[in-house]
């Protein structure tokens, strides 16, 4: 079955970033026991990732590169927040490099990286960790099937076989 919108797609992948000097740096990979399963064409994935997956079938393998502009965007040097020290009165000040789970005014959750801790604030970089990175994917399609009505109404896949596990 060919991957198209409103299909549940299961893939194994290896992700590397490509640095400015051309060096490939390993980021992550899935396993046969824990593949990535997603609902194709509903905005769950980077649009360019989905474009590259269109038309593939189970067993197909493909390598492709996603530029920063097609992925998580360029690094925004202004995407920095000065977080008040009293925000950390219970947990203690985080170390430089720590990932902070944050929530914006609309309730959206995201992560920020601590870049500095000073006498006035914890300075956090709000850019996505993959912003400014060229992404290189090696993908193998494990399975694809039409999504169930329930999956479409929920807006996400319920696993490789359509049954949600918790």
21-72 per-position pLDDT tens digit:
889 999 999 999 999 999 999 999 999 999 999 999 999 999 999 999 999 9
Q: In this predicted structure, which of 2-16, 75-89, 100-114 has the lowest mean pLDDT?
A: 100-114
State the DSSP H helix or E strand holding residue 166, giving kind and residue range, or none if neither.
none
Whole-number Cα distances in Å, 165 to 26, 33, 45, 161: 29, 14, 21, 10
Q: Name the average pLDDT for the chain.
A: 93
| Domain 7-72+130-154 sits in CATH 3.10.50.40 | yes
Q: What is the CA radius of gyration of the chain?
A: 19
- pLDDT value for 164: 61
- pLDDT value for 123: 96
For the chain, domain boundaries = 7-72+130-154, 80-125
The conformation of residue 86, written as its DSSP 8-state character, comes to: G
Q: Which fold has domain 80-125?
A: Thrombin, subunit H (2.40.10)
- pLDDT value for 165: 54
122-155 per-position pLDDT tens digit:
999 999 989 999 999 999 999 999 999 999 999 8
- pLDDT value for 159: 83
Stretch 79-102: mean pLDDT: 94
């Amino acid at each position: 079955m060919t991957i198209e919108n409103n299909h549940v797609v299961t893939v194994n992948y290896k992700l590397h970033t490509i640095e400015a000097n051309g060096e490939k740096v390993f980021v992550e990979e899935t396993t046969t026991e824990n593949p990535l399963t997603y609902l194709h064409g509903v905005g769950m994935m980077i649009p360019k990732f989905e474009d590259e997956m269109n038309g593939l079938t189970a067993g197909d393998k493909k390598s492709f590169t996603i530029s920063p502009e097609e992925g998580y965007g360029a690094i925004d040097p202004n995407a920095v927040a000065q977080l008040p020290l009293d925000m950390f009165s219970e947990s203690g000040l985080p170390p430089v490099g720590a990932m902070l789970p944050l929530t914006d005014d609309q309730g959206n959750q995201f992560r920020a990286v601590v870049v500095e801790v000073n006498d006035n604030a914890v300075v956090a970089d709000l850019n996505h960790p993959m912003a400014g990175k060229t992404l290189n994917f090696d993908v193998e399609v494990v399975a694809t099937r039409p999504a169930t009505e329930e999956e479409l109404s929920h807006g996400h896949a319920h696993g490789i076989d359509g049954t949600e596990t918790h």
